[in-house]
């Protein structure tokens, strides 16, 4: 067992369980509350319909927001990579974005190079183009 010094266990530990638990004696953690009031609890249709999907999206959003992707992957949480509705669209956008950036970069480089050529001796490329 090679426990290193930077391993920080959670604040509330096993030992606390020995004390007689009182309802609401200690403020519960936000994560504990959210996973219960958003994900659990009996669901009945109210007069104002909030799409449960919204709530799920929200919790997903929080998860993505706060858990760094690497850390999540390290824990084996990589469902978004296998969820076509989430990943393919996002990946396409990212790829497209990357492609466009490269293209813009190429164009800028090209133009810069040509401008230099214009000021200096005539480049071979330009000669060819004529």
Partner 1 sequence: MRLVESAGLAAVVGSVPLADFDEDALRDHLEDLEWLERTARAHHRVINGAARHGQVIPLRFATLYHDDDRVRAMLRERRDDFTATLRRVAGRTEWGVKAYVDPRSFLPDPDEPTGGEGSPGTAYLMRRRAQRQDQETAHLRATERAEEIHASLAALAVATAAHPPQDTALAAYEGWMVLNNSYLVPDALSEEFTALVTDLGARYPAVTLEVSGPWPPYSFTAPPKRAEDAQPEETPS
Give contact residues for partner 1 (rule: CB under 8 A): 1-4, 6-18, 20-21, 23-24, 28-44, 46-50, 54-55, 58, 61-63, 65-67, 71, 74-77
Check if the beta carbon of residue 103 is closer than 8 Å to that of residue 111: no
**Smallest distance, partner 1 to C-beta of residue 54, A:** 6
Burial environment of residue 110 by CB neighbours within 10 A (0 to 12, 13 to 18, 19 or more): exposed
**Smallest distance, partner 1 to C-beta of residue 56, A:** 11
Check if the beta carbon of residue 38 is closer than 8 Å to that of residue 55: yes
Helix (H) or strand (E) holding 25, with range, is none
Of 70 and 129, nearer to partner 1 (C-beta) is 70
Of 43 and 124, nearer to partner 1 (C-beta) is 43
Of 37 and 113, nearer to partner 1 (C-beta) is 37
**Smallest distance, partner 1 to C-beta of residue 32, A:** 6
Angle at 41 between CA 81 and CA 15, to 5 degrees: 85
Of 61 and 91, nearer to partner 1 (C-beta) is 61
CA-based nearest residue to 59, from 43, 88, 38, 40: 38
**Smallest distance, partner 1 to C-beta of residue 65, A:** 8
């Amino acid at each position: 067992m090679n426990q290193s010094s930077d391993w920080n266990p959670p604040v509330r530990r096993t030992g606390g369980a020995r004390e007689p638990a009182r309802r609401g004696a200690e403020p519960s953690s936000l994560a504990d509350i959210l996973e219960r009031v958003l994900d659990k609890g009996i669901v009945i249709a109210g007069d104002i319909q909030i799409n449960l999907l919204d709530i799920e999206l929200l919790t997903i959003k929080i998860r993505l927001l706060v858990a760094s992707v690497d850390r999540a992957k390290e824990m084996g949480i990589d469902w978004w990579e296998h969820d076509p509705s989430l990943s393919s669209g996002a990946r396409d956008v990212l790829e497209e974005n990357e492609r466009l950036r490269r293209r813009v970069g190429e164009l800028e480089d090209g133009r810069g190079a040509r401008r230099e050529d214009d000021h200096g001796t005539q480049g071979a490329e330009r000669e060819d183009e004529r």
